[in-house]
Structure 1
Amino acid sequence: MNVMVTPKADDLSRRLFTVEDAFRMVETGIIGPDERLELIEGEFVRVNSKNNFHQSVQNRLTKALIRAVPDDLAVGIEPTLKLDDFTFVEPDIVLYRYSEAPRLTADRAMLVIEISDSSLGFDLGPKARLMAQAGVTDYWVINAQSLEVTIHREPRADGYGSIRRLGRGETLSPIHPDLTAVALRLADLV
């Protein structure tokens, strides 16, 4: 389905959509299953297509994580992550505990990873703020070109209290106590 995309209109009132509105639109066919959208503070945002390099990094990182995480945890590939009633995102990878809950929510996310190239500014800026506001305790943004990783921790209402950038050869370790066995270097994956 082709949908007209326009930049945000200034000074006009908007009807904001909820996450449940969005899921009903998918169920009824208003939004097609192949459309790459995120709901950001009540407004639909088109997600950029991935290039081959991005996909390669995602595939290799996913494979390494699946080998490293305990069997009772899930390695979600582009899952829908509900941050609040008006926001859902589809990060590249989320580590979380299996559950029968109908939606994956921020409080269950042990590690959220975005692999970014054309959306790097958005992932490091507005999306990081949304993740912090939702309480995501460990949010990594991997620059798909340089393989530098920006690690966001200590979520607060106004953003993250701790932001560190690590190079491709440095060891990455999640902070969640159930993920202590996970340690990797991006340089080893490519």
Structure 2
Amino acid sequence: MLTNIRQITVNEYHQMAEMGIFHPEERLELISGQIIKMAAKGTAHEAAITRTQRIFNQRLGNQVLIRTQSPIKLDDYSEPEPDIAVVKTNALDYEDHHPQPSEIFLIIEIADSSLKYDREVKTSAYAKSGIIDYWVLDLNGRKLYVYRLPNAEGYQSESILGENLTISPLAFPDCQTKIRDFLMKV
């Protein structure tokens, strides 16, 4: 790691946004103290988010809150905006803070053009912060990467599941879903 890079904190990132440094339509997220420009959202990406959100809303109902492309705070230097965050319910709907790792059951990133970034950069950030269940849905490869058992070096468990297999979140083992249900029908 380079030592001459100055990391931006979450608080500084928020101050920059409040000062109007970023264009209001600019899609950004803070990962490990660096401001990252997010890829444009295509129709397949958006459809997969909609399908995934619908599945979890139907199966988990009021047990959880499903947040889509909304910030979560991993630590003082990372505030990503995952495609799907399955989080604990909150009386204020997180009006006073963004969900933090202890409040997060599952993070899902939908990858069409971002597979390498989601599997490398985001995997590292999520593991270091202790996100216990992280999935990357590969739209092009029609498979799901499942990361579990996080520690400071990364995830100790990585599985790659084909579209005909079934998955359930660690926190909700009865919520079984075929991976193909998250994907475009072919």
TM-score where L is the length of structure 2? 0.89
- 1:57 Cα shift? 1.2
Indicate if the aligned counterparts of 1:68 and 1:181 stay in contact, CA closer than 8 A. no
Name stretches of at least 5 consecutive residues in structure 2 with no aligned partner.
none
Cα distance in 2 for partners of 1:122, 1:148 equals 16
- 1:12 Cα shift? 8.4
Cα distance in 2 for partners of 1:12, 1:166 equals 38
TM-score where L is the length of structure 1? 0.87
**Counterpart code for 2:48:** V
SS at match of 1:71: helix
Aligned residues: 179
Please report the RMSD computed on the Cα atoms of aligned residues, expressed in angstroms. 1.8
Q: Which residue of 2 aligns with 1:76?
A: 67
Q: Which residue of 2 aligns with 1:156?
A: 151
SS at match of 1:23: helix
**Counterpart code for 2:177:** L
**Counterpart code for 2:6:** R
Cα distance in 2 for partners of 1:156, 1:97 equals 22
Q: Which residue of 2 aligns with 1:124?
A: 119
SS at match of 1:136: coil
Cα distance in 2 for partners of 1:37, 1:147 equals 26
Q: Which residue of 2 aligns with 1:62?
A: 53
Name stretches of at least 5 consecutive residues in structure 1 with no aligned partner.
1-9
**Counterpart code for 2:108:** I
**Counterpart code for 2:110:** I
What do the CA deviations read for 1:65-112 (whole angstroms, capped 9, x no partner)?
111113031001111011110111111000011224512112211000
Q: Which residue of 1 aligns with 2:83?
A: 92
Cα distance in 1 for partners of 2:59, 2:160 equals 23
Cα distance in 2 for partners of 1:128, 1:149 equals 14
Structural mapping, 1:95-106, within 5 Å: 95-99=86-90, 100=92, 101-106=96-101
Structure 1 ranges of 4+ moved more than 6 A: none
> 27-36 or 158-167: which moved more?
27-36
Q: Which residue of 1 aligns with 2:129?
A: 134
Cα distance in 2 for partners of 1:106, 1:72 equals 17
**Counterpart code for 1:19:** V
- The answer on 1:180 being equivalent to 2:173 is yes
- 1:140 Cα shift? 0.1
Cα distance in 2 for partners of 1:129, 1:14 equals 18
- 1:151 Cα shift? 0.3
Cα distance in 1 for partners of 2:178, 2:2 equals 46
Cα distance in 2 for partners of 1:154, 1:98 equals 23
What do the CA deviations read for 1:10-36 (whole angstroms, capped 9, x no partner)?
978343211111122223322233211
Q: State the identity %.
A: 30
Indicate if the aligned counterparts of 1:140 and 1:150 stay in contact, CA closer than 8 A. yes
Cα distance in 2 for partners of 1:11, 1:142 equals 31
Change (3 A) 1:98 1:188: closer
